[in-house]
A = this chain, B = another copy of it.
Amino acid sequence: MPDPLKIVVVGGVAAGPKAASKVKRLMPDAEVILIEKGALFSFAGCGLPYYVSEVVHEQKDLMATPVGAVRDTAFFQKVKGVRVLNRTEAIEIDREGKQVRIRALESGEESWLPYDKLMLATGAGPVVPPIPGVERKGVYTLHSIEDAERVKASLAEGRVRNAVIIGGGLIGIETAEALAAKGCQVTLVEMLPHILAMMLDFEMARLVELHMQSKGVRIMADTKALAIVGEGDAVSSVQTDKGQLPAEAVILAVGVRPRTELAMKAGLAIGEKTHAIVVDECMRTSDPDIYAAGDCVECKDRITGQPCFVPLGSTANKQGRVAAINMCGGHDTFPGVFGSTVCKVFDFCVGRTGLTEKAARANGYDAITVLSPGADRAHYMPTAKTLMIKLIASRATRKLLGLQVVGPGAGDKRVDVAAMALAAGMTVDQLAKADLCYAPPFSGAMDNIITAADIARNKLDGQMASLTPMEVRAKLDAKEDFVFLDVRSPGEWEEVRLPGSMLIPLGALRERSGELPRDKEIVAFCKASLRGYEAARILLGQGFTDVKVMDGGVAMWPFAKEK
């Protein structure tokens, strides 16, 4: 009998345990050793904000299987047949000799572990920005269970009234909600012009900011944190270029960086743009006996074909499985990602897949965009909630390029549908014919994404000339002479209005169009913009020549409204 296959996996959070377990299922004879630096492992890192907010009550909930078994070393040995060495660091790879040097952190003892296949699942670590004062007490990252315990302990002490979050990405946003839920006065500081800058375009992010503000979170975009100021060793405020913010707790959430020291020391290829470990579709590094997966590797963007770094637990699990199959001599591939992301922000579901408009243009696409708000199920159902969609498509190929969702409605469903459309390379014409399941408690007869696709088709077919709210805002700011035509009902007008607009309700437009000048640009809108579109079609039918529709209507206007 040949010697059993020796597999060493470095890293015990997501991709590592997944791969180790899968290897044992594929090859029960294999010797699988999992090395983990921390004491705790195989925990749900994405659940940490919910543990801080006590939506998730117990630490063990984050480390248990769905039936409540805690994934500790005994569990892995007994159930998975995987030997876990935790509190153990992998410090060097001898690629020639196919062995990895490990150090037990408690005893300091070192030894060499031989491997047939090695897998790196070293993950990513939080970036600590080079700001004076980051070492102060009360300054946290939120990346490990230990981090979460520290934040929870400081909250439990009752000292934290003001919290400042530095960084408006996913972790920053989720932590803002968690701390607000715990009664803190939260200020979020973001260097870029808007939050969630990698995920959303300006107008969509702005709608999220407005929602967070309505929940009491102060958003300071375009703001640099300059120093963390304190009395003694504890933080007392954050100095920014827009003023000083009191803070008894500061969360650093400026992003994560792949952990690649071990790979770099071993001379494995590292991505120039991503700084993550380069792998092929089989999750093999530049050394054919070393695999890597999860937050430490770079991915392929399936639209642009470019390398990207999108660390996510979902991707890590899929990649871990692919690596396991290939390490066992099988064949599987990971095709890359569309950057599908979702995030709960108070009452909003915020999501994205594919390219943002900004990314699409940066990649040379002639993109058309649609803003489409609507009820996420039959509008007469009491459970219906608003869902605001931005759809991006290629003018040249009519293919979907990306989708963003914001609002209380079930946006995650539409992001997933769009992700599948992207995987299939669908045009908006094909997407508009998607056979999505329909019943009033779950969707409208025309699903939101189908409506958005149909609007895109109207635009591509020249049926609908449109302006974005940003373009209209610029016209207003430049005091351009145009008619900003609201075609909603008088009751809706009474409630809220857009600046500089005039009202002719759609039902009266066929008769009252004489009130409109024929020599000026007319920009029609309503609440969503179906009526705006109908108004434009009516006016064009009556011989008006320069009529446009403003995308997204009052519902998605990302600027101040008049009340």
Determine the chain B residues whose CB is within 8 A of the CB of A432 once the complex forms.
318
Are B79 and A435 in contact, with the CB atoms below 8 A?
no
When the two chains form the complex, which single residue of B47, B338, B443 contacts A412, counting CB atoms closer than 8 Å?
B443
Shortest Cβ distance from residue A540 to the other chain B in the assembled complex, whole angstroms: 7
Give the distance to chain B from A11, nearest Cβ to Cβ, in Å: 15
* Cβ–Cβ contact B46 & A438, under 8 A: yes
Q: Which residues of B contact A29 (CB under 8 A)?
A: 541
Contact check: which of B61, B335, B415 meets A433 at CB < 8 Å?
A: B335
When C-beta atoms are compared, the residue in chain B nearest to A386 turns out to be: B66
CB pair A64–B423 under 8 Å, yes or no, is no
B-facing mask of A507-548, CB < 8 A → 1, else 0?
110100000000000000011100101100110111000000
A437 contacts B538, CB within 8 Å? no
Cα distance, A319 to B410, chains bound together (Å): 25
CB distance from A413 to the nearest CB of B (A): 4
Are A412 and B437 neighbours in the complex by a CB distance under 8 Å? yes
What are 19 A-B interface contacts by the 8 Å CB criterion? A28-B538, A66-B528, A67-B489, A67-B531, A313-B438, A314-B443, A318-B433, A318-B450, A335-B430, A337-B435, A340-B435, A340-B437, A343-B439, A344-B439, A344-B441, A349-B442, A413-B416, A422-B435, A423-B430
Besides A321-B454, A416-B436, 19 new A-B residue pairs in contact (Cβ under 8 A), listed by A number: A44-B440, A46-B445, A61-B380, A78-B506, A313-B438, A314-B443, A315-B435, A316-B445, A332-B429, A336-B435, A342-B438, A342-B442, A344-B441, A353-B437, A410-B410, A412-B443, A413-B413, A423-B430, A423-B435
9 closest residue pairs by CB, A with B: A28-B541, A420-B420, A424-B424, A314-B438, A342-B437, A313-B445, A66-B379, A61-B380, A340-B437
Spell out A's residues near B (CB within 8 Å). 14, 24-26, 28-29, 44, 46-47, 50, 55-56, 61-62, 64, 66-69, 75, 78-81, 302, 312-318, 321, 330, 332, 334-344, 349, 351-353, 374-375, 378-382, 410, 412-413, 415-417, 419-424, 426, 429-430, 432-443, 445-447, 450, 454, 461, 463, 488-489, 492, 506-508, 510, 526-528, 531, 533-534, 537-538, 540-542
